[in-house]
Structure 1
């Protein structure tokens, strides 16, 4: 076991004793090693509004007003910039990765102390709009740059991530926003102790707001497992891939002003582990009514930890449950499956030619 993973393991044991005291999980640096696991956990309100967690299963508005109203017959054409064939600066993607990694903990007062979760959420929400039948949406185009899609309820709070990454784009203006946002998601996962995620460049930025996807393509967390399947099957995922992607909820937390829900999915929300699956499978979940009139599941023994309604519906589904239980027992298998599914997600809708270089980025905390 390498030193980082050993430290993570020790941290899982210690976080259980911190639940009643409180602080905000995040990151500090010890020499050159990023140690996100060393912050204490807290139910204290963050000093600054945060990422809203990853919110793979999200409401379009507080209290569940979103609903899933995407019509698969809707079609539109995404106009993207034509790649310039003249000489172009060769981008050092490893250096861009390193610069993003240096940003992750630059504000210890932010949320749980890391921008990682909001970067993963940006990568996910900019990619998860894909429709395999109409071949629209996905990470190609970076259409969340435009007001219509930026204003979708599911994207509440993501201006934080887009604005932060604008600093990187100014330094490397040759990189497309689609490439930048997905690269940031890969960096966030790896720097949090997660698996290596292979990545390719090649996304082209859309030229106009008319290229935005219609609202309602992302899941509604209040609905049941059949709705979740509808949304992810539309993108081309199967049950195993859906559950693997859901494991990204080991990072981040929900915020009432973002999704209508509140709290982290487990006690160390800046550490990428299989703890999310252990929590789903091993804890007693009870319903809690929220101030906005909605409800969520909370851990009976630690009501600051929550699950979205759809997640427990999924766990009670026979086909989904077997993957939850598998990943709760086997972190390595989860890492392998998440890496493959996340790579697939980030490449939805991208017109790759097949000869692109595949990058496997070196961690800055290795």
Structure 2
């Protein structure tokens, strides 16, 4: 198969590339859908005091909602720009938010405003559009200010956990040793030795990964943050013994180590600069086989669906002018639909028909 069969001309209109897909899917859709907004808005007052609302919402709650990792010093929070429309340097901490005044600015792309403007931009809406701004404000008030009913008193263990420090996707200080890269299962999967070596795969004989293919996972900076495991003997798959095992949340010495796969793209760390053509596939196996077919710029979301953070990464990994995100057209699954919804407004999205 020629590259031209995989990558048609970039200039093709998106509507033509999507074939019979509904045109509404081409546009980026916010987390708060139009129907949800209209339904919720009908039961809430139409007038809002924006000034009070902007002061009452906490930026830390907003960061947590969008799964954005920030460094906080005093009343300033910094990170690489999380906005889907950001086209500048994605490696430097160009984004800054004042937690006291609830304002933000990105010194890379130039975006700035208040906390409601930030929520609008994260959801793909225009903060200068009065109707869209009001809709987001209504939902933001409900999301970030309405408190749930009081729950039963927590146990002493739960209270201790609530005070524990939470560390998200910390780099590992070790690597699994003694992995077998020549295990027969790789041949059964049709994987060549160079593919196994490139992805660092290996059969594990002991520990939590015993009987599984260990799959190294890296954050966007290339740091090893954990291992996934694929069960070799699929006859042993059960509710308690899944085919794929991901790192679990754990607590040690009052520190909670939380693994969040929605903050990175599998194999994304190998792409060091924006590319013209990037394939987003579902699952580890698809990535391995596409890479083996010569499609080296390929990533996966690990879990079903696509988070806002992963959508931002897809935008950053593709060229701002000619960048195209390719979807594997094996089905209209949740991943493909969410890529179209969250990335389609910033990058071309097209289909490839790959036999994996």
The TM-score with structure 2 as length reference comes to 0.26
Structure with higher Rg: it is 2
Higher helix share: 1
Higher strand share: 2
User: Which is bigger in relative contact order (C-alpha 8 A, separation at least 6)?
Assistant: 1
